[in-house]
Amino acid sequence: MKTFNFILAVCLMFAAVSQAQEPISDADYKALLEKSPFNSVYPRNFTKASDAYFEASMKIYSEGPIKEKEAHLAALATAAATKCQYCVPYHIAQAKRLGASEDELKAAIQIAADVMRMSTMFYGNEFDLEQFKAML
């Protein structure tokens, strides 16, 4: 599976580079904007590649090795830690759609907060990484 994912990533990168260098017609650009308003955040010549990448990468939630609800809970935790005001409501809505309880949502956010707290404590105090690994 790792080999497949690596090959997929390389193919997507080559596709992105080749598509990004080609000018996009007004009609194609308009169609991509109608397909998803998110396509408007990319430079025009990257829109095709970005749209293809976004479509492929979203499959990790529904077709990946982690169950879809848990994938959205992990994404919610990440979104909370990175303070993404767009991602938090999206992943809450998706997790709820998949049956997540309020406690599961709160636990995901609590875990993110704990990881951020401890990361800040260790990093800020320059706790020795090798010493930490030896304790595991």
- Give the model confidence (pLDDT) of 88-122 as tens digits: 999 999 999 999 999 999 999 999 999 999 999 99
Half-sphere exposure of 52 (CA within 13 A, CB side): 17
pLDDT in the model for residue 77: 98
Per-residue model confidence as pLDDT tens digits over 23-32: 999 999 999 9
- The model's pTM: 0.77
Q: With both helix axes pointing from N to C terminus, report the angle between 87-97 and 102-124 in degrees, rounded to the nearest 10.
A: 140
The residues, ordered by sequence, that sit 6+ positions from 100 with a Cβ below 8 Å of its Cβ are: 69, 72, 73
CATH fold of 67-135: AhpD-like (1.20.1290)
Looking at the chain, the domain(s) classified CATH 1.20.1290.10 span 67-135
Cβ neighbours, 10 Å, residue 26: 8
What's the rounded mean pLDDT across residues 69-74? 98
Half-sphere exposure of 45 (CA within 13 A, CB side): 7
Q: Above 70 in pLDDT, residue 21? A: no
Residue identified by tokens 């308009």 is: 30
Mean pLDDT over all residues of the chain? 90
